[in-house]
Amino acid sequence: MLARDTPIRKKLMKIILFTSCVVLIMTTVAFLAYEVLTFRQNLTEHLSTVGKMIANNCNASLLYENRKDAAEVLSSLALEPHIVAACLYDTNNAIFASFPAAPPPSRFPPAPAVLGHHFENTHLIIFEPVIKDGKQVGVLYLNSDMGALFQRLQPYGGIAIVVGCCSLALAFALSDFLQRQISGPVLSLVETAKAISQRHDYSVRAPEQGKNEFGLLTDAFNNMLEQIHNRDLALHEAQQKLKDHADDLERRVAERTARLSETIAELESFSYSVSHDMRAPLRAMQGYSAYVQDKYADKLGAEGKIYLERISRAAKRLDTLIQDILTYSRISRAQLDLHPVDLDKLVDDIIQQYPGLQPPLADISIIRPLGCVVAHDAALTQVIANLLGNAVKFITAGQKPVVKVYAEPRGDQVRLWVADNGIGIAPADLNRIFGIFERIHPDKTYEGTGIGLSIVRKAIERMNGTTGVESELGKGSRFWIQLPVAQTQL
Amino acid sequence: MRTILLVEDNEDDVFFMQQATKDARIENPMQVAENGQQAIDYLAGNGAYSDRDKFPLPFLVLLDLKLPLVMGMDVLKWIRTRPELETMLVVILTSSRESRDIEAAYRLGVNSYLVKPPTPEMLRELVKSIGDYWIVKNEPPVGVGRKPAA
């Protein structure tokens, strides 16, 4: 009856109307029941009186068996419209006289029942003793229908219906008016909530409602709104701050990027200038030393020759250093386009290019196939040339370098090993050797700029690879580089 | 004898080149422009350079990149915009192998890109191969630098 989705107004009205109806029906029923009971009581009294009168009037007729008189007395019952049947039983319980005079015999009980009255269906039955001189001479039977009751109840019913309808109408009007007292505050809360959820305006408040439960609910609701409002404000503030912060950060990043680009541009022009301008004097030094040695050899003397030789060597070292720095800087910033590179061919080409990597100066064995990796051809050539160069360079004096080059798959990468029989690296130095300008051997023993392995690490990093070394002092070194394997066969 | 124009600001390098050409037994006369502007003036025949008997149009330009006034790359660009010099043989001879320079030079239509070697001996070898290739073996385009009829 009261579905969940029924609006509260209808629900309240239904509740009030339903309650009113029930009360009304109960009242009507009680009233009717009272009426019926009263009527029955009155009817019983009336019929008893009538019975006693009839019994008194016909006791003599019974005693003297005057049927005619008895019938006459009974016929006076015609004045009582509701008495439908009456009869007299003699002492033998036979019907002595009856009313109406000639009824169907089934209308009477064959013999008188217990004296007194009782209701049978809608009839009141009375058995009254007929007494003459203190002696019972017969029994009077009276049967009255309840027509009078219904006759009497009819107007009552009409009145009840009219009153009921009026009451219901009044109840409806009243309920419609009264339910507003309850639904009004609830609906106003609902409206407020709706407005807030639609407009997201948390400054709206529900109207005050007095001090009852609705007042408390409204206050609680408004309190809640207050809190939400405050949090909303705080959130907005925080968001704004965050945004300001982000903007600030973005601005700073942009500034720094600009500054960085500027620095990079400066560095580039610096290295460009280094590569052009700084090498020219070196070339001059080497060149003139060579000419002096060439053309004035006879005038120099042994010492002079040595000094010139040293000038030339120093210039050459500086030139190598400049070239290595340039290579490092180039590899650090140049765009390295990555393609599949055949390691076997690359290593062969490198060895072929440098006599120092070939017999009789060195013994380099390659365990094939080395496979293909994704790399930048020139950068990888530089890397492997540096590794092979180191492998044959750092060797105990007088020993012949024996180098092994082999590869092993590592997931979707290839690790290329360059293992030598050189002097090895102390554990403390293992971490240092890839740093720029890090040299762990004194200049005189092994010449170098300390940039070779930095170039290796930087170039491999730029080609999405990794690099490392395993070594023990005196037991040779095993350098490795690891690069993504090339799926396509060359 | 066809003329070679060396565009080089460094007098040491000029000296080494002259020595190297001598040592490599290249007999072609070598003119020198000390900066980019001079090179352009020479090639355009501006001012004193209009005297083509004294300053003949070269068949081969050896061009340094880092030059005062006008950079080598701009000289090359200028040469390639001149219809009469469009096909002139230009060889870059510079200190560095900067990849962006190499890229740019070839994009501008240079014929060859060489890096100055550190020692006179190596320079002599390089000049010898320049002479062997560009003067003896190479067939130059019609127009500037045409080989004299045999």
- DSSP secondary structure of B10-43: -HHHHHHHHHHHHHTT--S-EEEESSHHHHHHHH
Name the minimum distance, in Å, from the CA of B16 to any CA of chain A: 7
CA–CA gap between residue A396 and residue A344 (Å, rounded): 28
Name the minimum distance, in Å, from the CA of B98 to any CA of chain A: 8
CA angle centred on A458, ends A332 and A485, rounded to 5°: 115
Q: Quick check: B133 pLDDT over 60?
A: yes
Q: What ipTM does this complex have?
A: 0.79
Closest CA to A350 of A383, A394, A391, A381: A381
pLDDT tens-digit profile of B68-100? 888 899 999 999 999 888 888 999 999 877 778
User: How would you classify residue A133: left for phi > 0, otherwise alpha for psi between -120 and 50, otherwise beta?
Assistant: left
According to the model, what pLDDT value does residue A40 have? Answer: 84
Is the CB of B118 less than 8 angstroms away from the CB of A282?
Answer: yes
pLDDT tens-digit profile of B17-50? 999 999 889 989 999 999 999 999 999 999 889 9
pLDDT tens-digit profile of A419-432? 999 888 888 888 88
* Identity of the residue in B95, B99, B123 whose CB atom sits nearest the CB atom of A276: B95
Interface of B with A in 58-87 (CB under 8 A): 65-66
Q: Quick check: A105 pLDDT over 70?
A: no
Looking at residue A205, what DSSP letter applies? -
Closest CA to A439 of A346, A348, A341, A321: A321
From A270-284, A462-476, B115-129, the region with the lowest mean pLDDT: A270-284
CA–CA gap between residue B3 and residue B11 (Å, rounded): 20
pLDDT tens-digit profile of A379-411? 999 999 999 998 998 888 888 889 999 999 988
pLDDT tens-digit profile of A115-146? 888 888 778 888 888 888 888 888 888 888 87
Residue B34: CA count within 13 A, CB half-sphere? 4
Closest CA to B10 of B116, B146, B124, B144: B116
**Can you tell me which residue has the tokens 């000296």?**
B15
CA–CA gap between residue B118 and residue B115 (Å, rounded): 9
Q: What pTM was computed for the model?
A: 0.52
pLDDT tens-digit profile of A221-237? 888 888 988 998 999 99
Classified as helix, coil or strand, A123 is strand
Name the minimum distance, in Å, from the CA of B52 to any CA of chain A: 32
Please, what is the angle between helix A279-295 and helix B120-130, to 10°? 100
Q: Rounded to a whole number, what is the largest CA-CA distance in chain B?
A: 40
CA–CA gap between residue A14 and residue A11 (Å, rounded): 5
The full length of chain A comes to: 490
According to the model, what pLDDT value does residue A325 have? Answer: 82
Note whether A51 and A142 are within 8 A (CB). Answer: yes
Mutate: best of B119, B122, B127, partner A, most A CBs <10 A: B119
Detail the DSSP E strand segments found in B13-147.
Answer: 30-33, 60-63, 89-94, 112-115
Residue percentage of chain A with pLDDT more than 70: 97
* Identity of the residue in B16, B65, B95 whose CB atom sits nearest the CB atom of A287: B16
**Can you tell me which residue has the tokens 């900066």?**
B35
According to the model, what pLDDT value does residue A408 have? Answer: 92
Q: Which residue type does A157 have?
A: G
**Phi and psi at residue A256, to the nearest 5°:** -65, -40
According to the model, what pLDDT value does residue B150 have? Answer: 42
pLDDT tens-digit profile of A301-311? 888 888 888 88
Closest CA to B13 of B58, B78, B77, B72: B72
According to the model, what pLDDT value does residue A118 have? Answer: 84
Classified as helix, coil or strand, B108 is coil
Note whether A93 and A111 are within 8 A (CB). Answer: yes
Is the CB of A280 less than 8 angstroms away from the CB of B19?
Answer: no
Note whether A283 and B118 are within 8 A (CB). Answer: yes
Is the CB of A330 less than 8 angstroms away from the CB of B99?
Answer: yes
Residues in chain A closer than 8 A to B10 (CB atoms): 280, 284
Residues in chain A closer than 8 A to B67 (CB atoms): none
Q: Quick check: A60 pLDDT over 90?
A: no
Is the CB of A276 less than 8 angstroms away from the CB of B19?
Answer: no
* Identity of the residue in B10, B99, B118 whose CB atom sits nearest the CB atom of A316: B118
Mean pLDDT confidence for A321-334:
82
